[in-house]
Chain A
């Protein structure tokens, strides 16, 4: 193949301080990006400096105006929920970050281009202008967009909730709301609201969601009625009509599969046999778009997750309103996670969860709303390098080189984040250099101070990128993002990055005594049932010991390697409020090799809060839960399935008037672990075991009566 012009070497590209590195790569640098997505709307998180909701669109228009004439200007749609009466925004407050406000809106790519051209404002603590693109989501299908109808939020009286009633909410993929385990005895749906975020938008009757499709209990009951003949329900046909098992529309057939993550998780969180008639446990489901679930880096998650949380809180209040009572207890399960981030609770998603929980848990409502997250399965991923000042950085020009092994035939980009200790914008603590394999090229040393980025360009296509940005309060850390393009493809003619050992050189130019630098490989694997062809990269170090002398996977760090297992806990699990749950193996009581833990970068989170069963035994992996269709059973393991069991248990605690906060989970673990594991492994350490093990249901019962 002819190569007309060779343009090897580094090119310095001016970065926008107004967009996060993942969005920047996705829209401007990635050689595999598709031009036909321009103009399409997608959810984004926009950070507005001291902005008010109603003027967001005006600020964006003014921003565009300032940049000069442009055709066409950016399209922005603000969800109606943000337009609600400002005095009545309970539970829907946008996240604040150091005085700025984060909104999840729909916008097109023209917005990013404008932000990219924004130059710094000169303010050392707030280098950005009025708007910053904090995160982006993948494009929604055209038919998932429409005109949302505005509706006032409900005002609940300040009275007690209906006795014994607890709302359980699940955010996940493929949630089968017609499944028998989500029905009451007389067949009525227990799922009161289900939002499919990439479903077909319906303009008539009116939609009260900003995109996708909502199913209310009446819609679900109607599907039951019309697809039941002589007492026999044809669920697949009903999902087909609902557009959820539609093999004629791309990525719309999650509920045509036998197994989905969401079906299993939701059944553990809130599935019960019909005979138990659990009308006192109404359910709310939010189904993430297929593309968001497939992107395991989590880069595209934030806008959808924030919208999901807003939705859940609103609908939980509507359930209370229907009952004529005060705010109901609410247990939310979100069995997703990734790696990377500051791990100190200051990421946008973590702040939102903390803010939401604190807003709902005031006064008599203390401990009545909870979010449960998994600790993550990244313990063996070799995705964390911890470089301590004085130890890792040796010699007169102290530096440490990390080997970053990038897999061949990886169809998605690979990312590493390097976070400095807390500092100010102008502090110079480290410099980072990126070396491509086989001496192909070396980047300039990227310093702290001004936001900057450099791209490695081959044949006019970007192969790798290194960028630096300062993340202001409350995080107050420098963040280096290293991106390497895909090393494989199944279409297109763009060049590929070389796979193999890339090297990241980190130089100590001013680290405070006793501090450390964290490097993270972002999660980048392909989930079963998806077709991203992603392959996970990792750090390598000869001193990292993978196996014990007996041949088992080593689970403890030996202190000799900078690549560590410690601290690979879920990137969104370091806020102060949510409950974080890891896993153990029921038969032995020992921890499986994968369950991740701390320590993190906040003293508040030495590890998960507790652990519960993720595998029945080493041979019987996983835990039995529901398949998509009624009557089907499937086993799935991992911390994803531990979390919903705790969600279920906490709903039980809430139903009897108790609290569902971290303190409660700690107390449950402290009671269970010493008492119920006499002939099994000793109590695990706090870094991965938290306050201890929870035996929420007897072993034998769970295998044969998974919802009992």
Chain B
């Protein structure tokens, strides 16, 4: 089974297993003590001999169990954690379309109709989701100055940079109680959001094919290996911002008055901005990459929440998200996160390089019961 990993997976440098996020689940398995093997050594031969000793002659059972309902989210709790993760990822990634027009790449939301009724093929409508236009090589070259100046902060930040090679969950978990044991459904939602971010950002990186700082100048001398994919958008920026957006909505939707204080949101988004900037400090990203990634991450985060929180039982068109565009050629200067997001309204705001493509409505009839099931469980964890 293919396991999906965000960008850090492809960095041979990462001392942390890319599966460290998943290892929490293996903690429930008695086998986890055995160096990561799926089973303990000698269990199979023990089971062979043991069965021999106790099974006796085969006799068919008298009673059959009741069948499980098909395609029912109530079955979700029966499947293993990694299975659930795969199902959620499918729900998300299967609805992302991708097209290219010159220097502009565009991601779309695929809305299907009639999927859940009968044997007819689903019909499809694509809605805008995120558009991105590549900056010019001259713009990237001008941005090298920022990497040179930000290198001043390398001594300040290198420990964070190394710790942030892996998923950002530990950092978000130090702000709010995001934890595989304490808030398992929220944790699962966050991992699903990270998968969505990963698949989408990789499509953009591949399509726009932007060169890394190390390809422009021998003086950048990044302090971590430059990852083997395009520089824009920044994967770390995308992922950190999608998690900030999703977590913030989960906490808000919980209804707990403690989380109504805007300071939770402020800390999430400050963390996301810092994770993004740390990549420029490290020397592997331009500021424009962080801006593009932050915009993509926030857009995908709001989209994710719209898909996950819409209820199939409610009237149609109850969920909507805003599509955005990032125009590389219109961008200049430093990554300025404070101009990209409004703490009070909890929305992305248009700034240098970003613009709003309008509200898109999602047909709630076709929402994912799987996503919704996990969403409802997740927000209950914070009450």
Contacts and interface: CB of A to CB of B under 8 A. Distances in A.
Most buried by B among A234, A247, A250: A247
A248 interface: yes
Interface in A40-78: none
Nearest to A252: B149
B357 interface: no
Contact of B266 (A227, A232, A247, A259): A232
B343 A240 contact: no
Given A237-B336, A257-B156, A258-B156, A230 B149 contact: no
B152 A257 contact: yes
Given A247-B146, A248-B149, A230 B156 contact: no
B263 interface: yes
A422 B333 CA distance: 58
B153 interface: yes
B289 to A, nearest CB: 15
Given A253-B152, A529-B152, A227 B145 contact: no
Interface in A161-215: none
A324 to B, nearest CB: 39
Report whether over half of chain B's contact residues are helix, strand or loop; otherwise say mixed: helix
A256 interface: yes
Nearest to A259: B156
A158 interface: no
B50 to A, nearest CB: 58
Interface residues of B, number: 19
A526 B336 CA distance: 32
A61 to B, nearest CB: 40
Interface in B312-341: 333-334, 336-338
Contacts of A246: 334
B163 interface: no
A227 B338 contact: yes
Contact of A247 (B149, B156, B262, B263): B149
Contacts of B152: 253, 256-257, 529
A257 B262 contact: no
A232 B263 contact: yes
Interface in B68-114: none
Contacts of A529: 152
A229 interface: yes
Nearest to B266: A232
B338 A248 contact: no
Interface string B137-173: 0000000011001101100100000000000000000
A492 to B, nearest CB: 16
A259 B152 CA distance: 12
Given A227-B338, A256-B153, A257-B152, A248 B343 contact: no
B145 A248 contact: yes
Nearest to A232: B266
A240 B334 contact: yes
Contact of A240 (B150, B336, B344): B336
Contacts of A240: 334, 336
A232 B334 contact: no
A256 B149 CA distance: 10
Nearest to A530: B152
A250 B149 contact: yes
B220 to A, nearest CB: 14
A215 B347 CA distance: 32
Interface in A245-266: 246-248, 250, 253, 256-259
B344 A248 contact: no
A236 to B, nearest CB: 8
A529 B154 CA distance: 10
A253 B149 contact: yes
A65 B37 CA distance: 89
Given A232-B266, A232-B343, A247-B149, A237 B338 contact: yes
B302 to A, nearest CB: 19
A380 to B, nearest CB: 25
A230 B262 contact: yes
Interface in A519-572: 529
B334 A248 contact: yes
A152 B145 CA distance: 42
Contacts of A259: 156
Most buried by A among B149, B334, B342, B344: B149
Nearest to A237: B338
Nearest to A247: B149
A230 B153 CA distance: 29
B338 A257 contact: no
Most buried by A among B156, B333, B338: B338
A528 B17 CA distance: 35
Contacts of A229: 262, 266, 342-344
A256 B344 CA distance: 25
B338 to A, nearest CB: 4
A-B pairs with lowest CB-CB distance, top 5: A237-B338, A247-B149, A230-B262, A258-B156, A229-B343
5 contacts: A227-B338, A229-B344, A237-B337, A247-B149, A529-B152
Given A229-B266, A230-B343, A248-B145, 8 more contacts: A230-B344, A231-B263, A232-B262, A246-B334, A247-B150, A250-B149, A253-B149, A253-B152
Interface of A: 227, 229-232, 234, 237, 240, 246-248, 250, 253, 256-259, 529
Interface of B: 145-146, 149-150, 152-153, 156, 262-263, 266, 270, 333-334, 336-338, 342-344
